[in-house]
């Protein structure tokens, strides 16, 4: 790489003057704190976007997952079946809620939890299923729902990467009793950080709204009262609110969502064409009954090629890349776990290449050429 040639970055937000103008409007309003007017507007719009009746903005996806588990009634001693191939925030939320994550192995093609593995992981202590949309593509939710109903369990969607995705024409977020989203900087829409908990169940979101504000109703609910309402604290709550500054950014990001999805899908199409048929690489699968939001583009490297050596060669040439995500059961924090060979194999062989809505045609071609040449140099 020449000194004048910049790296092609792995992920990058799409933000600009519109977001700055929205933040300036919040500054003028004087309400910068969490759970204010901008948050309420975002929640109403986001619920419509994901096809649910209710949405609650949160500080991040981890807090949304934790709140969801709390309002679902998770208790110490409970077990929750969790799709294994995911950033460990998913399993951490289960532990933080006092329960035990029981990891289920994954489908080898799209990496979401294998329904047969989910059912096999159920024990008398199981209370629910936490299914992960890996890289944004929803898992087999009709099958998960049938399993949950057979065993009297709740179903929770970790939709961290899934804004704009669909499953059999239904939006990600509307596929389970609850769903949690992330607005981290690498996600399809972002305020740098942030999250949301969504559901059709008003009772769950209402309780989550109290818990995420220290156990009381947010201050905006008392605005305009002709009395002096003084809330009382009846249970332990948390500070998991999204600020109105972030919510203002998210309102603009919702406006951008169709264009951002189109741009990512265009990049994915060009990558498919560039990598399909390359010896040593397998392109990711988009199932025909789903719309993939392409939060990440993850290649599978053939077992005879060192994924790590390949990644280093690609990075040396100015293209950022990384492993896919984690086989959670291999993480030391969870102790000794039964082997999950499909997830472990994905963890060892996946390679994420640059994917975001700002990639130019020249950058896509540079990524493709760099990856192909690096593969050929190792075979």
Co-location of 243 and 261 in the same domain:
no
In this prediction, residue 1 has a pLDDT band, given cuts at 50, 70 and 90, of low
pLDDT in tens, 322-355: 999 999 999 999 999 999 999 999 999 999 999 9
Model pTM score? 0.95
Question: What does the pLDDT average to over 240-244?
Answer: 97
Whether the predicted pLDDT of 86 surpasses 50: yes
Predicted confidence (pLDDT) per residue in 311-324, tens digit: 999 999 999 999 99
Residue 62 pLDDT exceeds 90: yes
User: Is residue 285 assigned to a domain?
Assistant: yes
User: What is the tens place of the pLDDT at every residue in 250-268?
Assistant: 999 999 999 999 999 999 9
Residue 180's alpha-carbon distances to 29, 61, 68, 201, in angstroms, are 29, 6, 8, 14
| Residue whose token pair is 């079946």 | 81
- Asked whether 351 and 307 are in contact (CB, 8 A), the reply is yes
Of 233, 254, 275, the residue that ends a domain is: 254
Instruction: Please tell me the distance from the alpha carbon of residue 83 to that of residue 117, in angstroms, as a whole number.
Output: 9
pLDDT value at position 3? Answer: 46
Structure tokens at 335: 């102790």
Average pLDDT, the chain: 96
Residues 74 and 209 in one domain: yes
Does residue 123 form part of some domain? yes
Q: Tell me, yes or no, whether 355 and 208 share the same domain.
A: no
Are 101 and 45 members of one domain?
A: yes
Does residue 11 belong to any structural domain of this protein?
no
Please indicate whether residue 196 or residue 34 has the higher confidence score (pLDDT): 196
- pLDDT tens for 139-168 read 999 999 999 999 999 999 999 999 999 999
Rounded to an integer, what distance in angstroms lies between the CA atom of residue 37 and that of residue 48?
17
Domain end marker among 205, 222, 254:
254
Is the same domain home to 214 and 296? no
Q: Which domain holds residue 366?
A: 257-377
């Amino acid at each position: 790489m020449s000194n004048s040639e910049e790296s092609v970055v792995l992920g990058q937000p799409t933000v600009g003057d519109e977001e700055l103008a929205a933040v300036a409007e919040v500054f003028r309003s004087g309400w910068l704190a969490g759970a204010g007017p901008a948050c309420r507007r975002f929640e109403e719009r986001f619920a419509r976007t994901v096809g649910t009746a209710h949405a609650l903005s949160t500080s991040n996806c981890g807090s949304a997952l934790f709140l969801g588990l709390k309002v679902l009634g998770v208790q110490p001693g409970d077990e929750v079946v969790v799709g294994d191939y995911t950033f460990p925030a998913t399993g951490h939320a289960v532990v933080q809620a006092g329960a035990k994550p029981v990891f289920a192995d994954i489908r080898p093609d799209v990496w979401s939890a294998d329904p047969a593995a989910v059912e096999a992981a159920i024990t008398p202590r199981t209370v629910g299923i936490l299914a992960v949309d890996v890289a944004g593509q929803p898992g087999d939710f009709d099958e998960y729902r049938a399993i949950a109903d057979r065993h009297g369990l709740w179903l929770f969607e970790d939709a961290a990467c899934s804004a704009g995705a669909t499953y059999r024409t239904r939006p990600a977020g509307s596929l389970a009793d609850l769903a949690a989203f992330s607005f981290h900087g690498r996600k399809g829409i972002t305020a740098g950080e942030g999250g949301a908990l969504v559901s059709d169940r008003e009772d769950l979101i209402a309780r989550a709204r109290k818990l995420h504000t220290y156990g009381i109703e947010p201050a905006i609910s008392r605005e305009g009262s002709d009395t002096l309402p003084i809330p009382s604290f009846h249970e332990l709550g948390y500070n998991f609110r999204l600020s109105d500054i972030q919510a203002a950014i998210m309102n603009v990001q919702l406006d951008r969502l169709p264009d951002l999805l189109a741009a990512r899908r265009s990049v994915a199409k060009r990558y498919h064409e560039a990598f399909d048929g390359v010896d040593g690489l397998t392109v990711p699968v988009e199932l025909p009954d789903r719309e993939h939001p392409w939060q990440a583009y993850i290649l599978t490297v053939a077992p005879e090629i060192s994924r790590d050596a390949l990644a280093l060669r690609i990075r040396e040439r100015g293209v950022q890349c990384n492993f896919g995500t984690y086989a959670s059961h291999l993480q030391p924090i969870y102790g000794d776990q039964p082997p999950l060979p499909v997830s472990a194999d994905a963890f060892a062989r996946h390679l994420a290449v640059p994917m975001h809505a700002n990639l130019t045609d020249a950058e896509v071609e540079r990524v493709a050429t760099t990856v192909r040449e690096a593969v050929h140099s190792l075979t």
